[in-house]
């Protein structure tokens, strides 16, 4: 076979054109929906602008304070661990190390948290809560 028959190619072309017409219609509806959602988001942000600014400022302040406190605490824990013997590290230090790792991970989560809560287009940002590690080292 060197060529598709004119009849078969015409049928393929007709169905292809129909498919592309439906795709264009869908894309038009999708763009219309996006514009409407964006309008709702813009109106919401405008309506709550003052609240968003206050929340963002208070959040960032608490985030900075918490990050400093947690870093200070993990540094204390790290110093404590580094002063222990090798046998301690092989025994009770294993649990302590896991506990310190939990606090270090928490510190990274706090530092990587959202700088501010805002709406980007139709992508709504949802901030997941961070779980505070235990204040007491688990038992060995």
| 99 plus 133 within the same structural domain | yes
Is residue 122 classed as helix, strand or coil in its secondary structure?
A: coil
| 67 plus 12 within the same structural domain | no
Neighbours of 40 (CB within 10 A): 11
pLDDT at 116: 45
pLDDT at 112: 74
Q: Is residue 43 part of a domain?
A: yes
- Count the domains in the chain: 2
If you average pLDDT over every residue of the chain, what do you get?
A: 84
| 138 plus 87 within the same structural domain | yes
Select the more confidently predicted residue: 38 or 74. 74
Domain that holds residue 21: 1-47
Q: Is residue 52 part of a domain?
A: no
pLDDT at 119: 56
pLDDT at 77: 93
Select the more confidently predicted residue: 2 or 118. 2
| 42 plus 81 within the same structural domain | no
Q: Are 91 and 84 in contact (CB under 8 A)?
A: no
Rounded (10°) angle between helices 49-82 and 6-47: 90
120 bridge partner residues:
123
CA distances 1 to 5, 13, 15, 72, 88, Å, are 10, 19, 22, 77, 79
| 94 plus 125 within the same structural domain | yes
């Amino acid at each position: 076979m060197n060529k598709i028959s004119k009849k078969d190619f015409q049928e393929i072309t007709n169905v292809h054109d129909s498919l592309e017409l439906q795709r264009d219609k869908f894309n038009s509806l999708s763009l219309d929906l996006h514009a409407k959602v964006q309008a709702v988001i813009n109106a919401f942000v405008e309506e709550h602008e003052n609240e968003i600014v206050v929340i963002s400022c208070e959040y960032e302040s608490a985030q900075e304070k918490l990050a400093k406190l947690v870093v200070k605490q993990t540094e204390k824990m790290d110093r404590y661990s580094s002063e222990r013997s090798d046998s301690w590290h092989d025994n009770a230090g294993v649990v302590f190390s896991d506990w310190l790792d939990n606090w270090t991970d928490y510190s990274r989560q706090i530092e990587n948290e959202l700088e501010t809560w805002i709406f980007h287009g139709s992508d709504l940002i949802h901030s997941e809560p961070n779980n505070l590690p235990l204040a007491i080292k688990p038992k060995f």
